[in-house]
Chains A and B, each alone.
Chain A
Amino acid sequence: MTRWVMIADLRRCVGCQTCTAACKHTNATPPEVQWRRVLDMEVGEYPQVKRVFVPVGCMHCADPPCMHVCPSTATRQRADGIVTIDYDLCIGCAYCAVACPYQARYKTDRPTFAYGEPMPSEAQRFDARRFGVATKCTFCSDRVDAGLAQGLTPGIDPEATPACVNSCIAKALHFGDVEDPDSNVSELLAENQFFRMHEELGTEPGFYYLWDRAP
């Protein structure tokens, strides 16, 4: 079996938001919709203050609450763990959005463009199916699938890897199959200490955060 996961190395992330820009470019999301976000957290009190940059988005949970609550079966989970939304089934009730503990889902009720009127690029990539329904990160499943069809390895070959991972200037983001013990992500998880967000909720996120080397 395969389970695609993402890893964010918090020691390396510099908060440049290139992944956010790459995601928006690749997926043509409208303004204020960021399937890949980077939180800029300030921790502590002056003078002991730290900044931490935390990439977030859909965690592609193994036990996704968004899928369980979805009344229309628009939200599903593929055999490889990627959580998908069928825009033609979704009714836009936003139940998934309130069920997601990671604020990863967006619902845009009307078309919006960066400068009011659509630019040629926005007009060309306009997708009416995405309005009034829930949207979120897809782990660039179309890139993953196309790459696999060509015999490429997601997470290793850029053509088969999510855009945010490809764009990361600090090599903080990684993508791969966590079920394969020899994969890039399995090695990273074996060599480093990590956590997952809100693990106490039992959603088993497919997004890991590295924070320190193994003891």
Chain B
Amino acid sequence: MTYGPKPWLQRHWDIRAATNFILGGTGAGLLVAIALAPQAAPGWRPMLALGLALIAVGLGAVWLEIGRKLRALHVFFNPWTSWMTRESFTALLVFALGATVLALDRPWTAQATGLAALGFVFCQGRILHASKGIPAWRAAGITPLIMATGLAEGSGLYLVITAGGGAVRALFALFALALVARALAWQRYRAKLGRGAPLNALEASAKWLLNVGTFAPLALLLAGLVAPQIAPAASMLAGAAALATGWHFKLALVTRAAHNQGFSLPRLPVRGSR
């Protein structure tokens, strides 16, 4: 039995921080998707640049949130324990490798960029997990959920851009696997989170995530396999659904489910005993 004021919503991180998780995850997912089959799609170079740009805009949004903008480079000072520092270093690596891909046109550099992007989205998950003050973020299972949704969004965006045209089988497999992984990761995370205000804030978004963002895209992919003439439209729709629901979910996670745990007293004082 615990006693105490009810948890309330934190106001330190708002939509600007959420933008980093939304665009950063999607950009990283897109880079992973490109790494699977570099040069498969005709417009892979602009797509790679888009992935890098999404990550950059996400980081820029965080920069808008910090109180001392001119000290932004101090973010690199603590790689020993801070996942925010590690995210920043990983972002540098992603940008450096991405620039190399665009300059050298070597497939292995695209794969290295994808690997670094995977590291970037992993750091994002760990940033949330290390936030001990917010039960919805520190819950076990948040990192796989953040990674899976980033991959689903990124591969979904790939399908939206190419309309499935340049996508190879491995890309469709990544998309389908990411969708399933995201749904499973949500179920595991939900079980760990338990009941309360954070879960209530996430339930609506999670319904969209499962119904519109998972089952519908999988059905559309199947429909595209059965009827190839609708495959381009079906791929685009499936990608868009996975993308939009992922963004909606992460926005809710960062801005609406971020309740602290309030204060609790495991014991009540016995007055008059002293």
Report A's interface with B, CB cutoff 8 A.
9-12, 39, 41, 43, 50, 52, 54, 56, 65, 67-74, 89-95, 97-103, 107, 109, 131-133, 192-193, 195, 197-199, 201, 203, 209-213
Contacts and interface: CB of A to CB of B under 8 A. Distances in A.
A155 B132 CA distance: 30
Given A9-B274, A12-B274, A73-B78, A212 B269 contact: yes
Contact of B274 (A69, A103, A192): A192
Given A109-B67, A213-B274, A41 B3 contact: yes
B259 to A, nearest CB: 11
Contact of B68 (A71, A91, A103, A212): A91
A102 B66 CA distance: 21
A131 B67 contact: yes
B273 interface: yes
Interface string B245-274: 000000000000010110111111111111
- Nearest first, the 3 closest Cβ-Cβ pairs linking A and B are A92-B67, A132-B67, A10-B269
A212 B77 contact: no
Nearest to A94: B12
A69 B82 contact: yes
B246 to A, nearest CB: 22
Contacts of A193: 267
Contact of A52 (B3, B83, B137): B3
A191 to B, nearest CB: 9
B132 A107 contact: no
Contacts of B271: 11
A102 B68 CA distance: 24
Interface in B61-99: 62, 65-68, 71-72, 74-78, 81-85, 88
Interface string B4-17: 11000010110000
Contacts of B12: 94, 97-98, 107
